[in-house]
Every structure is written in C-alpha cells, then in structure tokens.
Structure 1
Amino acid sequence: MFELVKLIVGLITFFYVVKSMKTSGNKYIAFIVFSLWLRFFLSAFHSVTFPPLIAGFSINALGSIGITAIGVMIIPTAFFGLKKLIPIYVFLATVIISALYNAEYVGLIKVLVKWAYFLTIAIAFFLALKLNGVVDTSKRALVPFIMPVALQLLSVLLGEVKASEADNSASYIGGYNHEAAFSMMLVTFVMLVAILPKKTIAWQTSLFFTGIVFIFLANYRTAVIAVLPVIIIFLLSAMQQKLERRFQLPMMVFGGAILVVILSFFFTTQQERFQDISVFVSNIDELIKAPFYYSELEKDIFSARVYIWSEYLYAFSTGDFWQQLFGNGPDSWIGIFPKYAHNTYVSYLYEFGYLGFVCFISLNIIVLVSAWKMEDKQLSKKVFFSLVGFLIMNLATMPIWAIEGLIVYAILLSLIFADLKSGKEHLQ
C-alpha cells in the first residue's frame, strides 16, 4: 500500500523538479535539483534499489555513479582544480595510500565513488551560488525535499511506522530504510530553510519548525542533538533582524530560557532515549578500556556505541607503527566487525590511520575557520553552526559514510568556498 503512495508522491514531485529545472537559468542548479530528487526517489524504494545488481553495485549506487558522470561532463575541468579543494584532495590521497598499503582495492573504489559524488555536488552548488546567489540556489534546492517531507507526513497520517533499531521506539521515516539517512535529508531541508534570508520564501519560519518537528518524529538521537545549534542560531538571527539593539540581549536571555525549558521537557519525556548520553559523559573515564573488560551492562550503553568504539580503538592499537600510520584500509572493518563504527572519527582512525585522521581533522578545522570568516556575517553564523552540528553528529554515527550525509557536507562546504557577499554574485 505505502509503496504505491511513494510512487505517486515521487511522480508528483518529479513534475515540480522538472519545472524548476526548466526555469532555473543555469545548468548547475538544474543538475543539483535533479541529483537530489533522484537520490531521494531511489532510496525510497530500498527493497529494490539497495540489493547488489551489477558487479556488486546496487541500483542506488549505479544512480550515484551516473550522477557523478553527468557532473564531470557538465562542470568545467578547471573547477576541479580549485585551490580551496586542496585539503579534500590531500585527505583523499591518504585514503588511496591506505588502500594501496593494505591492498583494499574494492573498498577504495566504493569510497572514491562516494567522494567523487560529493565533489560534483559541491562544485556544482558552488557554481550555482556564484552565478545565481544564495536565495535562488537554495530555494530551488529545496524542491526535491518535497518528496521525503511529504512521505513522512503521510507516514504519520497513515500509521506507517518503523521500530527504531536501537530500542524499538517509533520512528516515522516515510517508508525509507533507516532513520540515519532519512534524518540527514531532514537536516539538509532545515539547514537550507535556515540559511535563506528572512521573508525570501512563504511560511519560512513555519517550514523551519515543521522540519524540526519532523526530525524529532524520525526519532534519531544524533540528528536531534546535531540540529540544536541550527535552531539556536536561527532564533538568534530572527531576533537580531526584528529587534532594536537595546532589546536584543534581554530577549535573547528570555528566548534562551524558554528554549531550555522546552528542551528539558522533551529530554525528560524521552528520558529512556537520551539517558545513555548522560551515563556515558559522567562515566567516560571508566569506559576507556579494552572491549574484553566491558560488563554486559556496559556493552549496552549508548545503544552499544561505546563498546563498538572500544573494539575499533583496541584493534587499531594492536597494529605496528606503519599499520597505525596508514590504517587498515577503506572499508576494512567489513568482515572484521559485525557493525560499522558509529563514529566517523573512530572509523577514519581505524581505516586511514593517523595520517588520514589528521588530514580529515585539519580539513574540518580549515573549513570551520573559513566559515567564521565569511563576509556575509549572518550567513557565516548559520553556516558555521550548521557545520558544528554536522560534525557533532559524526561523533555518534557516520553521516559521511552515506550519500545523504555527503550531500549536507557538500552544500555546507560550497557555501563556505563561495563566500558570498550580500547582493548578486558573479563568477570571478
């Protein structure tokens, strides 16, 4: 029944996608709009698109490869050589070195395909921003999100609910496969609405808070925590634009107090879902140990994440100097551990070693500093705190492992690299 609903919604949204593409004014926006819609559409039918089809690649993966190929064809080659991309290429070089050292060629192909997709989305979004500015680019990029948002609303109305893998609590994710990837779609939606200047789209504030409510309904803890900085900076920006300077501080204090009360109420009512976080924070010194020292009770903390991190870190620590320097290779955890690391930083340390880990951390320090220094200060704050939220999310799951997470990362980095001033922008 709900499969038919997904198909109907997908076809309806495709009509709006085509309409947006035809009126977009430049091919890069058209490419972004179609790419996002195709990803959301294929992922909705996971029972068909996720299983391997050709040479170990699923329909979903083949769709990503196809999008990457189109991106490479339409993006001028010179833009793949932007100096701002150098930190990304340095990190990818460490991935290749790790793969060659460990002969992990299959894992290397999978990782490079994902990052090639990321690069085409990031560069295309960068070019769209430079040609058409933040408002037009972001408004059109929102069009594909009609599908996942509409499907989640319908899943609530029709009772299409998924039991969370962690504790069997209810998750409304519109018939998609997993809360993590679906939550990243909603985070991107909320982020795009938030970065738009006020009153650039109808019902902007309502759409923003609808997206927040939907993230809570998706019931993925790390997404809820990651979106908090975005909520705070959205509210602060709204108050700064509406109030005189002398009223801003008292209203910020008042608004902050209300937000704390609301969040306290939520976390209290959802105590069973979030109490593991406080247990982990308050006992972190006792939990830093080898996995075989964990009791059965400790293994369950934070949905077993802490125990999983311990397994990865212990395995990494047993390697020799060169193994620790270069890591065990991309996707080398497969066949060794029953589950992925649920922490991007732990996973990258295990897979790419100290070399890859340091390069990845350096990349994010560079983009965070660049986000803080953006010329449009309102946009700077929104992008900076959105990136902070995204990086926090990587502490307890692996959004960068999924295409949906790489889309968020690509949009944020393209906004930082474009560094738009107020007003219309042109390629320099």
Structure 2
Amino acid sequence: MFEGLKVVVGLISFILVYRTVTGNCNKYLAFAICAIWLRFFLAAFHTITYPPLIVGFSINALGSISVACLGLLVIPTPVFTLKKFFPFFLFFVCIAISGFVNMKIPGTINVLVKWCYFLVLASALILSVRVQGQNATFKKLLVAFTMPVALQILSVVLGQAKATEADGSASYIGGYNHEAAFSMIIVSFIFVVGLIERGTLSFRTSLFTLSVFLLVLVNYRTSILTILPIAAVFYFTLAEQRLKPSQKAPVMMIVAMVLLSSFLALSFTMKERFADIGLLLSNLDLMLKAPIYFSDAERDIMSARVYIWSQYIDAFRNADLLNQLLGFGPDSWKGRFNLYAHNTFVSYIYEYGVLGVGSFVFVCISVLLNALTLKDRKLSKILALSFVGFLAMNMATMPLWNIEGLIFFAILNAVLIGHKKSSKSRQVSTDNRELLNAN
C-alpha cells in the first residue's frame, strides 16, 4: 500500500516541480530544483534504485553522475573560478592524489563524482541567488522537498515506522531507506525555510515548527543536535522582529527560558538516546584506545561508534609514513572494516591522511570565516550556527558521504557565496558581472 502511495505522491510532486520550473524560474534554479527532486524521487524507491544495475552502478548512482555531468555543461565556467571555491579544489586534489597513489581508482571516481554533484548544485544556486535573489530562489526550491515531506507525514498518519534502535524506538522516514540520509533531507528543508525572510512565505513559522517536529520523529539524534542552533536563531529572530527596543530585554529572556525548557524536555524524553553523549565526553581517551582492549560495555557506547572510531584511528596510527601522509585512498575502508567510520574527520584521516584531513579542516575554517564576516548580521548568525551544528553532526555520522548531506552543504555555501554584500547597493562586484555576463 505505502509503495503505491509513493508513486502517487511522486507524480504529484513532479507536476508541482514542472509548474515551478516552467514559471518565473531562471534556468540555473530550474536545474537545481530538478536535480534535488530527482535524488529524492529515486531514493524513495530504494528497493529498485539502490541495487547495482549497469557495470556495478545503481540507478541512484547513474542519476547522480548524470546530474554532475549535465551541471558541468549547463553552469558557466567563470562560476567555478570563484576564489571562495579554492579550499574545495585543494581538498579535491588531495582526494585525487590519495586515490591514485593507492590505486583506488573506482573509489576515487565515486567520491569525486559526489563532490562534483555538490559543486554544480552550489554553483547553480549561487547564480540563481545573484540573478533572482535569495527569497525567490529558496521559496521556489521548497517544491523539491514536497515528496519526502509528504511521505513522512503520511508515514506518521498511517503508522509506517521503521524500528532502528535496540531500545525499541521508531523512526518515521516516509518509507525511505535509512534515517541518516532522510534526516539530512528534513534538515535541509528546515534550513531553506529558515533562509526565507519573514513576510515572503505564507505560514512560514508554522511550516518551520512542523518541520522541526518532523525531524524529531525521524529519531536520529545527531541531526537533532544539528538543528538546535538553527531553530534557536529562527525563534529568537522571530521574537526580536516583533518587539520594540524597550521590550526586547525582558521578552527575549522569557523566550530564552522557553527554548531552554523545550530543549530540556526533549532531552528528558529522549534521555536514553542522548545518555551516551555525556558518557563519551567524560571518556574522550577511549578513542585513542586500541580496539582489542575495549570491554563489552565500552563497545556499546554511542551505538558502537566509539569502538568503530578506535579501529580507524588504530589502523592509521600503525600505518607507514606515506599512508599517514596521504591515507589509504577513497573508500579504502571497504573490505577492511565492516562499517563506515561514522565520523567524517576520522574517516578522512584514514582515507586521505594528514594532508587530506588538513585540507578539509581548511574548508571548514573558510566556510565558518565567510559566514562570520557577512555584513548581514542576521544571516551571518544563521549560517555560522547552522554550520557549527552541521560540523557537530559530522562528529558522530557522515552526512557528506551521502548526496543528501552534500545537498545541504551546497545550499549553505550557495548562500555564503551568492549573497550580495549590500542589498541596497546597485553596484555589482567583478565576480557578479562575470557571472551575469555568462548567464
């Protein structure tokens, strides 16, 4: 029954997407909407689209490759030469070097295709933001999320839940394959709603609140931690905009207390899910402990994540100098470990070595500095705290391993790079002129 509902919802979402992209929509935004919608549509039918189909590639993988290749043809070359993309290209070079030195060619191609997907999607959204504006861009982009959001609501109404944890808790993920990837879809949806300015979107606050509630129902603790700073900024800003200067101090204090109480209530209702985080923080030395010395109780901390990290770190620590410098290559964990690292930084230091993880840290620092230096202080807070939350998520899972996580990262960087320095100024920067001339 639910599979049939997926088909119906998919067709309805396709009609909505078609009407949006054929309306007042620039071609770059149309490309981004179609790319994101296609990913969500294919992922919904994971029993068909995930298994290998042609030369080891699944329908899902072929869809991502097609989007990446088409994007390279559609996006004007000048956008790829923006200075703010330099840290990313440095990281890509480290991935390629690690892959070719270790002769991990298939893994290298797989990883670079994913990052190419990120690059073309971010570039398309940058162009749209600069050409059509942030509000118009993200208001239209919401249509790409129609299918997963609708399916999750239907899964709640129909009781279509997925049992995920040993404690018997359930995840409502709309019939998608895994709560990790699906949680990033909802996080991206929340983020996009939060980026749209007040008065631009009807029922914006209700939609934002509903999406936060839906994320809680996904029941994936790392994504919940990611969204906390985004939600805090949203509600603080909402309250602040409706107050007179003389009212701000007392009312904002009340708002802060309400948010804190809500967080504590959420923590209490999910205390079994979050208890391991406190246990880890009090035993950080466990990550440096050799896996053979882990007790049975220690192996269970954070759903065995700490034990998994120790395996990767121990393998890196015992590697030769070349592997410590360049890593073992993209996707080299396959065949050696049963599970992926569940930590982006741990995975990168194993796969790409000191140079690779160092270049990724450079990417993170660049993104954070770009967010903190935005002249629009409200947007600066939203982006900086959103990225901090995203980094926290990367400490306990690997959103950048999935296309869904790269979609969120692409949207965030598109706002950072595409946002105009001054909305009142009619002067266009050199980068803007190059991009607009290429349009």
Task: Give the TM-score normalised by the residue count of structure 2.
Answer: 0.95
Cα distance in 2 for partners of 1:370, 1:142 equals: 25
Other-structure match for 1:253: 253
Other-structure match for 1:386: 386
CA contact (8 A) 1:240 1:248 kept: yes
Identity across matched positions, percent: 48
Other-structure match for 1:56: 56
Other-structure match for 2:283: 283
Correspondence 1:62-211 to 2 at 5 A:
62-165=62-165, 167-211=167-211
Other-structure match for 2:423: 422
2:133 is paired with a residue whose SS is: helix
Other-structure match for 1:31: 31
Q: CA deviation at 1:165?
A: 4.9
Correspondence 1:286-297 to 2 at 5 A:
286=286, 288-297=288-297
My pick for the range that moved more, 384-393 or 6-15, is: 384-393
Q: CA deviation at 1:328?
A: 0.7
My pick for the range that moved more, 272-281 or 181-190, is: 272-281
Cα distance in 2 for partners of 1:330, 1:165 equals: 29
Cα distance in 2 for partners of 1:166, 1:220 equals: 13
Q: CA deviation at 1:30?
A: 0.6
Cα distance in 2 for partners of 1:276, 1:382 equals: 28
Cα distance in 2 for partners of 1:195, 1:134 equals: 8
1:176 is paired with a residue whose SS is: coil
Cα distance in 1 for partners of 2:356, 2:252 equals: 41
Distance 1:286 1:402, change over 3 A: closer
Which structure 2 segments of 5+ residues have no match? 434-439
CA contact (8 A) 1:376 1:419 kept: no
Look up the equivalent residue of 1:290 and give its one-letter code. Answer: A
Cα distance in 2 for partners of 1:46, 1:294 equals: 36
Cα distance in 1 for partners of 2:423, 2:112 equals: 35
Q: CA deviation at 1:131?
A: 0.2
Q: CA deviation at 1:208?
A: 0.4
CA contact (8 A) 1:305 1:396 kept: yes
1:103 is paired with a residue whose SS is: coil
Cα distance in 1 for partners of 2:83, 2:364 equals: 16
Q: CA deviation at 1:261?
A: 1.3
Q: CA deviation at 1:48?
A: 0.1
Which structure 1 segments of 5+ residues have no match? none
Number of residue pairs the alignment of both structures matches: 428
Q: CA deviation at 1:232?
A: 0.8
Cα distance in 2 for partners of 1:422, 1:321 equals: 51
Cα distance in 2 for partners of 1:75, 1:325 equals: 34
Other-structure match for 2:310: 310
Q: CA deviation at 1:193?
A: 0.6
Task: Give the TM-score normalised by the residue count of structure 1.
Answer: 0.97
CA contact (8 A) 1:181 1:402 kept: yes
Q: CA deviation at 1:281?
A: 1.1
My pick for the range that moved more, 338-347 or 21-30, is: 21-30
Cα distance in 2 for partners of 1:201, 1:148 equals: 20
Q: CA deviation at 1:380?
A: 1.6
CA contact (8 A) 1:132 1:424 kept: no
Q: CA deviation at 1:199?
A: 1.7
1:262 is paired with a residue whose SS is: helix
1:142 is paired with a residue whose SS is: helix
Look up the equivalent residue of 1:54 and give its one-letter code. Answer: I
Moved >6 Å (runs of 4+): none
CA contact (8 A) 1:135 1:197 kept: yes
